[in-house]
Structure 1
């Protein structure tokens, strides 16, 4: 029996499989964060267990891949840089060639990249380890960042003018479920099976994402045909040009910078949080530290859908962006200068991150035309990843380059937190500017779709050329 695409629940079926696209890739993304000790561990401990990793209880030696802190952070930086370069082209190609092209290509790249990354771990102690693992992260980053653009584009189409923030929140929740399960399960899995099989397990989860991509493609194609929109959208896609970037409004660019500065304080912190907790706070082993670091994503998993419903109802996306940045300032101050239990800070950061993600990213479809949404998402992701990549490099420099330092000095960690604070202040500046510009152009970001009349625009293909929430001022500012 074919489910009619006109029925309300059809879009939620699409949403479910769309959410599953990035579940496995988000699990894979932060595996190095959980196993940072193993990635930076010694090649051997007393010459035992050459193919596994273990902690020598008498000496505190951790057997692993022998990376330096700088090389470890480079794994995250190369992921971010690849996103920055690829997602612009990916967004444009998605707008030109359609969602289904992007689903197959980019989900395949996540599988290929995670496979090469896992393969590289078998070459520890050789010159091939770092090049293979960096190549794997490069391909993985090419696929995962671009796959998120397709995911957001599909969500924006099926939920525009409806439960948009809720849909984005649920998408984030599923992605973060992968991250949360990584922080809870990866350490235990590695203890039993070693780092190589742990990385291959992440690859298997990426295969699950590829299967979801196939399902979403079928559902999206069927739904488009039933709604009679497949041909119209293809015609609009043919009109998309690189020059359309010049039509993106000022508030779009301010929104992009706000996203970049906020994420500069979240992702680089989570990447090093497990080791930071072990180094600064007494009594935390690696597994406990991983749980606490993962609390950022735990909060996001629990809150994202609820926050999405709230934002759909009250709007105020621009104001929430400012509040998220302001309320994040105390997090890094506590971590830098106090010994307040780290769980307080990671849970706090998780709450502000949930509100930021559910208010900032769904704001992009509100200020750009639907036909260029992929390009706009690609540019936003590119700028975000350039910032994160530079932040990872800077953090790697701050923390040092010697793997022999089993415990990084506290003053280095303080410098890292001050750098996180600086990014948060940058986010406050750009988000305030965003609200000022948005107010002059109609205040779109601080409106709510629930207050609009429920009538659809003149036609669906006209909606493809205009933002989701629009008025005469908004159209004149974009076109």
Structure 2
């Protein structure tokens, strides 16, 4: 108590110090996202050089999500117990060792262990980073700081895709790109250590906010959540179970089914995180001004549903230039460009509306439980789908000699997207009825 009172009499951190902390934490997150996405550009090399099946590769993605579920059951206890300085550094070190394991040997079991360990480190690292921002920016520029942190994190995902261009000489084998990812993980650890030193130096000099302890999931009171909440959870599960597994196989699919180069496939796949970097905050501002949140979610789900059949059955169309400044350029089929651009817009729109909508539906004291439960359900769906897609690709002998073999997995994505549209429609109907929570009507202009 005396220490708390002493802290309250200290001056606030300077803006420069706060933004320096944000930079260090965001760089740690950049490395985290890069390592996660670094495996997807080498799927074809793992299949040819290591003789891995699509099912095995799908399990490598599932391993991460299963590990994430294990960590979510622990919640924020480790972070609360040991503090953000130690936690963010330890979790960054775990991610570094996971990246090393993934790149070190051609043995599937070791690579699997590396991806599982990455889930153990990466998900708590995200929680720790969120906790850091809440401590340093609460009551100040918190939303803006979160937006910058997410943008830099997504830049890590995009950079992993762009590595097919700026690090193309490494893609003669499956291992060298993963060694590059290990080096990037080293940058993440360095940034975490710099944050540790920055906060250590600030202690006793500045008043740093204290984040609230993570709320545990209240299993006994789940029935108290409204139907609207469960519609959002169902949409969340379906949405992430479609988009992220599709990204897992996207670069390989573009190469095998559409015959484009690895560099072009990487640039095309990067449109998803690039769109999120640019469009997510813009969609958030737009929806805050006009409301209609459940309607926007329904529109996003409707746009997403036909996209996977479009890349499967529509004519490729003429090649068009795709240019990422300072990274590279390529010619890609028009149909692929339009479909991935639209999917990137959906990837930006639905999360920008979906997660904040929970705050309108669930009372504040139970919001932590609501978000934790929603995240657990998201990870469950995300864990199952890559394995199923891998099995479908293997059983249908998908490959450049049998492009039609990819069609069943695309129908599977489409079926999931149709469920998403159904849940979004049910949410919209409930929000236009007498028991609405204001998702359609509450706007920033109305509050001003």
Contact 1:165 1:311 in 2 (8 A): no
Distance in 1 (CA, whole Å) between partners of 2:357 and 2:132 is 15
Distance in 2 (CA, whole Å) between partners of 1:368 and 1:206 is 37
Map 1:305-454 to 2 at 5 A: 305-340=281-316, 341-364=335-358, 376-400=370-394, 406-407=399-400, 409-436=402-429, 440=435, 442-443=437-438, 447-448=442-443, 451-452=446-447
Matched, 1:150 2:145: no
Matched, 1:195 2:195: no
Per the alignment, residue 28 of structure 2 pairs with 21
Per the alignment, residue 87 of structure 1 pairs with 72
Structure 1 length normalisation: TM-score?
Answer: 0.74
Are the structure 2 counterparts of residues 314 and 79 from structure 1 closer, same or farther at C-alpha, using a change threshold of 3 Å?
Answer: same
Map 1:99-248 to 2 at 5 A: 99-100=84-85, 102-120=87-105, 124=106, 129-155=107-133, 166-186=144-164, 189=167, 191-192=169-170, 194-216=173-195, 226=206, 229-230=209-210, 237=213, 240=215, 242-243=217-218, 246=221
Contact 2:164 2:266 in 1 (8 A): no
Deviation at 1:349, TM superposition (A): 0.6
Distance in 1 (CA, whole Å) between partners of 2:67 and 2:436 is 34
Deviation at 1:300, TM superposition (A): 2.1
Deviation at 1:213, TM superposition (A): 3.4
Deviation at 1:18, TM superposition (A): 3.5
Contact 1:92 1:374 in 2 (8 A): no
Distance in 2 (CA, whole Å) between partners of 1:346 and 1:360 is 21
1:228-279 CA distances to partner (integer Å, 9 max, x unpaired)? 753xx5xx639x5554773673344432322111111111111112222223
Matched, 1:264 2:223: no
- Superposed CA RMSD in Å reads 3.6
Are the structure 2 counterparts of residues 153 and 224 from structure 1 closer, same or farther at C-alpha, using a change threshold of 3 Å?
Answer: farther
1:200-242 CA distances to partner (integer Å, 9 max, x unpaired)? 2212222322333345566678599955753xx5xx639x555
Distance in 1 (CA, whole Å) between partners of 2:165 and 2:180 is 13
Contact 2:59 2:387 in 1 (8 A): yes
Are the structure 2 counterparts of residues 208 and 311 from structure 1 closer, same or farther at C-alpha, using a change threshold of 3 Å?
Answer: farther
Contact 2:12 2:208 in 1 (8 A): no
Aligned with 1:113: secondary structure?
helix
Contact 1:162 1:449 in 2 (8 A): no
Distance in 1 (CA, whole Å) between partners of 2:195 and 2:365 is 20
1:3-25 CA distances to partner (integer Å, 9 max, x unpaired)? 96477777655544443332112
Distance in 2 (CA, whole Å) between partners of 1:346 and 1:245 is 42
Are the structure 2 counterparts of residues 406 and 329 from structure 1 closer, same or farther at C-alpha, using a change threshold of 3 Å?
Answer: closer
Map 1:42-121 to 2 at 5 A: 64-91=49-76, 93-94=78-79, 99-100=84-85, 102-120=87-105
Are the structure 2 counterparts of residues 92 and 449 from structure 1 closer, same or farther at C-alpha, using a change threshold of 3 Å?
Answer: farther
Runs of 5+ consecutive residues of structure 2 not aligned to the other structure: 1-9, 317-334
Are the structure 2 counterparts of residues 328 and 160 from structure 1 closer, same or farther at C-alpha, using a change threshold of 3 Å?
Answer: farther
Runs of 5+ consecutive residues of structure 1 not aligned to the other structure: 42-63, 454-479
Are the structure 2 counterparts of residues 395 and 85 from structure 1 closer, same or farther at C-alpha, using a change threshold of 3 Å?
Answer: same
Aligned with 2:75: secondary structure?
helix
Per the alignment, residue 60 of structure 1 pairs with none
Distance in 2 (CA, whole Å) between partners of 1:281 and 1:37 is 14
Distance in 2 (CA, whole Å) between partners of 1:22 and 1:280 is 33
Distance in 2 (CA, whole Å) between partners of 1:244 and 1:10 is 40
Are the structure 2 counterparts of residues 224 and 359 from structure 1 closer, same or farther at C-alpha, using a change threshold of 3 Å?
Answer: farther
Deviation at 1:144, TM superposition (A): 1.5
How many residues were matched structurally? 415
Structure 2 length normalisation: TM-score?
Answer: 0.79
Deviation at 1:420, TM superposition (A): 1.0
Distance in 2 (CA, whole Å) between partners of 1:370 and 1:223 is 31
1:30-89 CA distances to partner (integer Å, 9 max, x unpaired)? 222211111111xxxxxxxxxxxxxxxxxxxxxx22211111221111112222232232
Distance in 2 (CA, whole Å) between partners of 1:96 and 1:437 is 41
Contact 1:322 1:431 in 2 (8 A): yes
